[in-house]
Amino acid sequence: MNTQTALFEEDSKRLTELCLKLQQESYAKAVFLLDKDGQLLSSVGEVEEIDTTSLASLTAGNIAATGGLAKLLGEREFPVQVHEGEVESIHISLVGERLILVILFDNRSSLGLIRLKLKHSYPELLQVSHEIFNKPPEEVRSVFSQISDDDIDDFFSFD
């Protein structure tokens, strides 16, 4: 399986729109979408005070560890995790084989509302995930083949 995420501008825009809609409809504090390698693909909501790089890598590590626990118990994966705190809570769910959806919420929302809104959003998130991770290799190669050595030199030159 190809583990590199080729995220084109239109893909990024679609993911952000889906996350924003989910965040607004569920009254969540923030919504993040990342790949299983810990690469942050989208973040919306109240994210200014959050170290999104750490959140993405720790969440990906958490998913990997939980996957190991699932296998020990004879399960393929545990696709949903919820961690409830006194003030803030986090809902983590797998979207297809490669995406992780993270929803941060507080007392403005509830776990029930998060689950309900996610149930309605999931099919579209899954479809976009499928389209992103199943791009024909020639489509991905064609984007990078348009960049020449001169383009790279120009970009990094200090003249």
Whether 35 is covered by a domain: the verdict is yes
> Do the domain assignments include residue 24?
yes
Entry pTM: 0.81
Number of folded domains in the chain?
Answer: 1
Whether 2 is in a domain gets the answer: no
Residue 3 domain flag: no
Question: Measured between alpha carbons, how far is 42 from 111 in angstroms, rounded to an integer?
Answer: 22
Q: Is 13 a domain residue?
A: yes
143: CATH? 3.30.450.30
Range of the domain at 49: 9-156
Enumerate the β-bridge partners of residue 99.
Answer: 35, 95
Kindly state whether residue 44 falls inside one of the protein's structural domains: yes
Residue 99, in any domain of the structure: yes
Mean pLDDT of 23-48: 94
Cβ-contact 140, 5 below 8 angstroms? no
Predicted pLDDT at 136 = 72
Question: Does the residue 4 lie in any domain?
Answer: no
The predicted model gives 37-65 an average pLDDT of 94
* Confidence (pLDDT) at 1: 43
